[in-house]
Amino acid sequence: MTAMFQLNRRHFFERCGVGLAHAAFASLAGQAASHFSGKAKSIIYLFMEGGPSQLDLLDYKPKLKEMDGQLVPQSLIEGKRFAFMERMAAPKLYGPRTGFKQSGKSGQWISNRLPEIQGISDDIAVVNSVITTNVNHSPAMVMVHTGSMVPGRPSLGAWLVYGLGSEARDLPAFVAMTSGPRGPRNGTDIWGSGFLPTTYQGVPFLNGPEPVFNLMNPPGVSTERQSRAIDAIRDLNQHRLNATGDREIATRIASYEMAFQMQASCPDLMDLSTESKATLDMYGATPGKAGFANNCLLARRLVERGVRCIQVYHTDWDHHGNIERNLDRLCPEVDRPAAALVRDLKQRGLLENTVVLFGGEFGRTPMREGSDGAAGRNHQIDAMSVWVAGGGFAGGRTVGKTDELGFKPVEDPVHVHDLHATLLHQFGLDHTKLTYRFQGRDFRLTDVHGHVVKRMLA
Question: In angstroms, rounded to a whole number, what is the distance separating the alpha carbons of residues 9 and 383?
Answer: 52
Average pLDDT for 155-183? 90
Q: Which of 123, 124, 116, 198 has its CA nearest to residue 155? A: 198
The 10s digit of each residue's pLDDT in 282-317 is: 999 999 888 999 999 999 999 999 999 999 999 999
Least confident of 64-73, 155-164, 228-237, 434-443: 228-237
Q: Where are the beta strands (DSSP E) in 201-246?
A: 203-205
Question: In angstroms, rounded to a whole number, what is the distance separating the alpha carbons of residues 162 and 214?
Answer: 26
Instruction: Report the DSSP beta bridge partners of residue 386.
Output: 127
Q: What is the pLDDT of residue 216?
A: 66
- Three-class DSSP labels, 407-437: CCEEECCEEHHHHHHHHHHHCCCCCCCCCEE
Q: What is the pLDDT of residue 210?
A: 64
Please give the backbone phi and psi of residue 345, each rounded to the nearest 5 degrees, phi first: -60, -40
Amino acid residing at 342:
V
Question: In angstroms, rounded to a whole number, what is the distance separating the alpha carbons of residues 42 and 256?
Answer: 24
Q: Which one is predicted more confidently, 44 or 5?
A: 44
Q: Which residues, 6 or more positions from 59, have their beta carbon under 8 angstroms from its beta carbon? A: 128, 383, 385, 402, 406
The answer to whether the Cα torsion of 414, 415, 421, 426 is positive or negative is positive
Which string of DSSP letters, residue by residue, matches 6-35? HS-HHHHHHHHTS-GGGHHHHH-TT----S
The 10s digit of each residue's pLDDT in 236-268 is: 878 787 888 777 777 676 666 666 566 666 778
Q: How far is CA 294 from CA 113, 167, 206, 279, in A?
A: 21, 23, 12, 11
Tell me the HSE value of 173 on the side-chain side, using a 13 A CA sphere.
28
Question: In angstroms, rounded to a whole number, what is the distance separating the alpha carbons of residues 41 and 303?
Answer: 9
**Other beta carbons within 10 Å of 400:** 22
Residue 29, pLDDT > 90, answer no
Question: In angstroms, rounded to a whole number, what is the distance separating the alpha carbons of residues 45 and 357?
Answer: 5
Please give the backbone phi and psi of residue 450, each rounded to the nearest 5 degrees, phi first: 95, 145
Least confident of 97-106, 218-227, 290-299: 218-227
Average pLDDT for 355-383? 93
Amino acid residing at 294:
N
In the chain, % of residues over pLDDT 90: 67
**Architecture of the domain delimited by 31-207+290-456:** 3-Layer(aba) Sandwich (3.40)
DSSP single-letter state for residue 52: -
Query: In the chain, where are the structural domains located?
Result: 31-207+290-456
372 confidence band (pLDDT: 50, 70, 90)? confident
Question: What's the alpha-carbon Rg for the chain, to the nearest Å?
Answer: 23
Q: Which one is predicted more confidently, 171 or 77?
A: 171
pTM score: 0.87
Residue 435, pLDDT > 60, answer yes
The 10s digit of each residue's pLDDT in 142-159 is: 999 999 999 999 999 999
Q: Which of 164, 200, 154, 156 has its CA nearest to residue 33? A: 164
Residue 66: its H or E element = helix 62-66
The 10s digit of each residue's pLDDT in 187-209 is: 889 999 999 998 899 999 876 65
Q: What is the pLDDT of residue 213?
A: 62
> 374 and 322 in contact (C-beta within 8 Å)?
yes
Average pLDDT for 365-376? 87
Q: Which of 376, 362, 440 has its CA nearest to residue 87? A: 376
Instruction: Report the DSSP beta bridge partners of residue 443.
Output: 436
Q: What is the pLDDT of residue 17?
A: 34
20 confidence band (pLDDT: 50, 70, 90)? very low
Q: Which residues, 6 or more positions from 194, have their beta carbon under 8 angstroms from its beta carbon? A: 146, 152, 153, 154, 155, 158
> 452 and 395 in contact (C-beta within 8 Å)?
no
Tell me the HSE value of 331 on the side-chain side, using a 13 A CA sphere.
23
Alpha carbon 415 to its chain centroid, in Å, reads: 17
Q: Which one is predicted more confidently, 228 or 96?
A: 96
Residue 25, pLDDT > 50, answer no
